[in-house]
Amino acid sequence: MTPVELSRTVLRAVRRAVDDGELSVAVPARVVVERPRPGGCGDYSTNVALQLAGPAGRPPRHVAELLSRRLSDSPGIAGVEVTGPGFLNLTLADDNPGALAREILARGGGYGGGDVLAGQRFEIRIPYEVRAEVVADSLRRVLATQGAQAHVVHGETAEQSATQGVQAHVVVHGEVAEQSATQGAKANVVVHGEVAEQSATPGAQANVVVHGETAEQSATPGTQANVVVHGETAEPSAAQVVNLRPVPAPSDPAVLGRDASRWALLLPAAHDRPRIDDEHLAQRESNPLFRVRYAHARTRALTRNAAALGFTAEPGDVRDNDTATPAGDVTRARANTAAPLHTALSSYPRTLTLAATHHAPDRLARQLVVVADALLGFQHTVLPQGEEKPSAAHRARLALAEAAGTVLAGGLSLLGIDAPEQL
């Protein structure tokens, strides 16, 4: 469906609402649809509800919800979501059923990655503060999904002095290793808990081991040494500086444990103060972290239960094909139940890109909550119920659920949080 065709579809929904007496407004001559702005989702967005709210004497969100119900039944539209004060976010129907699930399952944890920052280097400067450490660590991972290289440094400079008798601090992936550059001495650089001995003898080559690879680094007296990340030399002058200063944590989050403490520090935007309390440990739906991890565990349980019933996932059309029974409403309900999940999964790459370009891993955390909530609303349609036999639709719905599990696991990994198989 082209933007022009989509605009006409939205306009027809407005006209039907007016003809049925649900809206008392003059039908506009045209409706503008555009790509969603930050905070939106889906393939296209329109503000037609905000335009009609005043003349109709209704709140914008009320008008948007009214139009949403009509648009969700329109051919070519897979899902409709209302965001903000009343924006309609539209996800187009999949011309190739199962293509999204097939792509996610094929790419695995790499789904959502891109090359918008390919070849760019970032120097993430942070204070000595626990939240800044955690946010910087996640941001480094998110930047890598878009082809960028990043290293984290404390304070105002990443420069490393190799002058005789001066100690240099090398920061690799958030860990600090003191490096003696005294003539004839040896320096140890700690990389992910491993120690690489480095000779700092004047005129000699110094080796820094990063992720098991050796990168040669000059330690000639009086020259500046290069910081090596992922086996490539990133000169400080070539790196884009990111001064990361999130609002500090009000207290030590260690009492929450590793996963809950990272979530508590990452979920709020950088300008918001994080909450450090035992609500993050609660095993109930009011806890977003629980919902995300529980949703991931549910996808794994669905796979196990399907195997016990004798079928496996196969990407395809999630709608039931049997229309000869009075199950017409059921077919529509199940198709609409899948739409929010389809929208959440298809929006994930864009969210990951925005998280990288805006240096905001909190966007990723909130998108995982959206995916989890959509999966939890969809999960009940995956397995056959009652006397139902496994069908192609069941296999397709299982594939979509497994794709959701893949996205949840990949996103949690980028945040440095474990995704349990059972919960």
pLDDT tens-digit readout, 251-272: 999 999 999 999 999 999 999 9
Q: Which residues pair with 240 in a beta bridge?
A: 122
pLDDT above 90 for 152 = yes
Predicted pLDDT of residue 351:
94
Q: Tell me the pTM.
A: 0.67
Cβ contact 420:376 at 8 Å: no
- Which pair of tokens denotes residue 275? 């909450």
Residue 219: helix, strand or coil by DSSP?
A: coil
Query: DSSP labels for 172-194?
Result: ETTEEEEEE--TT-EEEEEETTE
74-82: average pLDDT: 82
Cβ contact 333:72 at 8 Å: no
pLDDT above 80 for 411 = yes
Whole-angstrom distance, CA of residue 91 vs CA of residue 89: 7
pLDDT tens-digit readout, 36-51: 776 667 778 899 999 9
Q: Which residues pair with 242 in a beta bridge?
A: 124
Q: How confident is the model at residue 237 (pLDDT cuts 50, 70, 90)?
A: very low
Domains of the chain, by residue range, sit at 3-92, 159-238
The number of beta carbons lying within 10 Å of the beta carbon of residue 329 is 8
Of residues 64 and 333, more confidence is placed in 64
Q: Which of 88-97, 171-180, 343-352 has the highest mean pLDDT?
A: 343-352
Report phi then psi at 213, rounded to 5: -105, 150
Whole-angstrom distance, CA of residue 345 vs CA of residue 403: 8
Cβ contact 135:361 at 8 Å: yes
- Which residue type, as a one-letter code, is found at position 322? D
Predicted pLDDT of residue 82:
87
Q: Is 128 buried (19+), middle (13-18) or exposed (0-12) by CB count in 10 A?
A: exposed
Name every residue whose Cβ is closer than 8 Å to that of residue 64 and which is 6 or more positions away in sequence. 49, 82, 86, 87, 88
What average pLDDT does the chain have? 79
- Which pair of tokens denotes residue 258? 């590793």
Cβ contact 280:293 at 8 Å: no
The number of beta carbons lying within 10 Å of the beta carbon of residue 154 is 18
pLDDT above 50 for 111 = yes
Q: What is the 3-state secondary structure (H, E, C) of 146-170?
A: CCCEEEEEECCCCCCECCCCCEEEE
Predicted pLDDT of residue 311:
96
Predicted pLDDT of residue 39:
65
DSSP state of 27: P
Predicted pLDDT of residue 413:
97
Predicted pLDDT of residue 305:
97
Cβ contact 98:216 at 8 Å: no
Q: 91: closest CA among 44, 47, 130, 48? A: 44
CATH number of 3-92: 3.30.1360.70
146-156: average pLDDT: 88
297-310: average pLDDT: 97
- Which pair of tokens denotes residue 363? 């966007």
Q: 135: closest CA among 238, 271, 229, 227? A: 271
pLDDT tens-digit readout, 116-129: 999 999 999 999 99
pLDDT above 50 for 57 = yes
pLDDT tens-digit readout, 219-235: 334 433 333 344 444 44
Report phi then psi at 139, rounded to 5: -60, -40
